[in-house]
Structure 1
Amino acid sequence: ALGRDGSGDADGDGAPDGDEFRAGTSPINGLSVLKAVIVAPTAGDPQILWSAVPGRTYRVQFKDDVTSPTWENLPGDVTAGSSTGMAIDDTGTGTEDRFYRVLLVD
C-alpha cells in the first residue's frame, strides 16, 4: 500500500491527486487539468466547453461578481457523451462580465 489519501498534489498543478483521479486527469502530469474554455459568440448565448470523461456528470456554476463568495448553478447537470463537455448559458442576464467554473458531480 502506498499510504496516500489523495490530498497530495504530486504534479504541482494545484489540484489534489484524489480530485484528479475523479476528474479523469493525470495526477502525475501538471498539464493534465480539468479546465473550461468560454466561447462567447457575438450574438447568442455563451458556450462553456471543457475536457471531460465520457459518462461523468458535471455542473457549471457562474457568478457575476468575482468577489462574491456565492456561485449559482446553470440549470441542468451535463453528462459527458464524449471527451468534451458543453453547456450553454441561456440565463440571459445581460451582464457584461460573468465568471464560470465546472465541477465534477459524479
Structure 2
Amino acid sequence: QILKFSTTGEENVFANLPNALFTGLAFDTNGCLYGTSYFAGTVEKFSPTGTYLGRFATNGLSFPNALALDGSGNLYVVNGGTHSVWKFSPAGAGSAFASAELTSPTGLALDQQGNVYVADTGTGSVEKYSGAGNYLGRIISGLSGNLFLAMQIPAPVARWGFQSVARSGDSVSMTWGAISGRVYQIQYKTNLQQPDWQNLGDTIPATNATMAYSEAPGSDPQRFYRVALLP
C-alpha cells in the first residue's frame, strides 16, 4: 500500500498493489506517481487519484529503490542489484545510465542543470554525473558527524527542490526554487527514524522564484531538512 496523509495527519490509502514492496516514489509534472517495487524489479505508475495505470518499466531492473524525474519526464532509477543508475524515457525505454564508482547506491537527486547526484552507502559518499551519464567526481565523502541532508516534498519536478544548503559557523542557510504565490514550510529531523518532522518557524509565502531561509541548529549533532509545499 501507499498511504497519503493530509496536512492535519489524516491517513488514507492512496494506492494498493498486492505483493509490492515500494522503496521509492516520485511524481511527474502531471501528478502521476511512480513507485519502485523492490522484489518485482519494476516501476509501477498511478494516476493523481491513485488509480493503477500499469507497469511503467521492467527492463534491466534488479532490486530498484530510489528514483527521480527530470523536467523532460525522463525517469532515473537506482538499481541496487547491479549497483548502477538506469534511465528511462517518458515512453518507458530504459538503459544503463551510470555505474562508475558505485558500490551500494541508495539515494538519487537531480539539479537544475540536469546533473545527477547519487548517495552511495558502500563508500559513504555522494557521486556526481552529467546529464549524459559521465562521471564528474566525488563531491562528498566520509559521511559522518555533522551531516545535513536536504529533500523536498512533494516533488512534481526536480527544479522546485533545494538549490543550496550551506553551513557557516552556527548557522545553516538554504535556498530553494519556489512557485510564486504558494506557501512553504521548512521542516527538520535529527534522526530519520523519528516518525514526525518538526516545523521550523512560520510558513513562508513565496514571493519570488527563489526563496531563502536560515536557522541555527544549536547542539544537535545532525539535522535533516526538507521543504514542504503546502496545499
What is the TM-score with the length of structure 2 in the denominator? 0.33
| Distance 1:40-1:104 versus aligned 2 partners, 3 A rule | same
Question: Are the equivalent residues in 2 in contact too, given 1:39–1:49 (CA < 8 A)?
Answer: no
Q: 1:38 aligned to 2:165?
A: yes
Aligned pairs (5 A) from 1:1-106: 14-16=26-28, 17-18=30-31, 28=73, 32-33=157-158, 34-36=160-162, 37-41=164-168, 43-90=169-216, 92-106=217-231
Q: Which amino acid aligns with 1:97?
A: Q
SS of the residue 2:31 aligns to: helix
2: distance between equivalents of 1:29 and 1:51? 20
Match of 1:3 in 2: none
Contact 2:171 2:215 in 1 (8 A): yes
TM-score by length of 1: 0.66
Is the partner of 1:69 in helix, strand or coil? coil
CA change 1:78–1:100 in 2 (3 A) is same
CA contact (8 A) 1:78 1:87 kept: no
SS of the equivalent of 1:65 reads: coil
Local SS of the residue matching 2:180: coil
CA distance 1:79–1:26, change in 2 (3 Å): farther
Q: Which has the higher helix share?
A: 1
Task: Give the fraction of aligned pairs with identical amino acids, expressed as a percent.
Answer: 24
Q: Is the CA contact 1:38–1:46 (under 8 Å) kept in the aligned structure 2?
A: yes
Structure 1 gaps, min length 5: 1-6, 8-12, 20-24
Residue 26 (structure 1) shift: 5.0
Q: Report the Cα offset of residue 46 of structure 1.
A: 0.6
Report how many residues are paired: 89
CA distance in 2, matches of 1:27, 1:76: 33
The answer on whether the counterparts of 2:185 and 2:203 sit within 8 Å (CA) in structure 1 is yes
3-state secondary structure, aligned to 1:49: strand
